[in-house]
Structure 1
Amino acid sequence: MPDTTYSVLPAELDLAFVKGDEFGMTLTVENTNLTGYSFDSRVYALTSVNAGGGLGGGVSVAAGNTVVAFTVTPVTVTAGIVNVSLSEVQTDQLSATGRYRWYFRTITPGNVTRTILSGDVTSRAP
């Protein structure tokens, strides 16, 4: 039997920026007309959770609370192009020692949610 997988996992894209600087990037969702879509893009903290005892310590990492939400601005929706950005105030809220992840989601007019991108976030001191 062939070893195949059908995956709808998001593409990984790690982000790194200077704490207190404005951050922005343009994203293209290829072959997708985003007319009528809505968007959700956030940075959330990772928290350590003690999942039980045992020799391995039982510590796992889980998604925590949203720290900041990106502003998503349509650029050319018929070509699938949007801009996501964080203000200086928002990036300043991210600790240089914190552990964070982010995601970018599209929500179709029929309310189908797809996480397109996700990754680690690094905020560094200037």
Structure 2
Amino acid sequence: MYARHSCYDDNRTPGETGGTGRRSTMTIDIWFFAAVAFFILAFCAVLRILPGPTLNDRLIAVNVAATLACAGALSLTVSAGSLLVLLIAGLLACIVFATTIRISQVRKGAVS
């Protein structure tokens, strides 16, 4: 009678109580697939770093690669359920952001 649009693997209608309440494996596989896709895109961005004609092009490619790697790590966190991956992704994002700021300051001549 009711359409089931839930990611939970229980056999109940919206008005019932009970059921297992466990997440289905299909949802976890989708998050893992998203993580793999983000990591492949990050690798493609890393390949763009090498032929970059200027330093600015390389900085943009590094930022894109780091952003995609962090998105992949966040998807992997949802898939695996480990907060360690989330911590590493946050540290990576902070390091890349600080490095970009430092390089842009040196390029402008504000810091010698």
Is the TM value for this pair above 0.5?
Answer: no
TM-score (norm 2): 0.26
TM-score (norm 1): 0.24
Write 1 or 2 for the structure with the bigger share of strand.
1
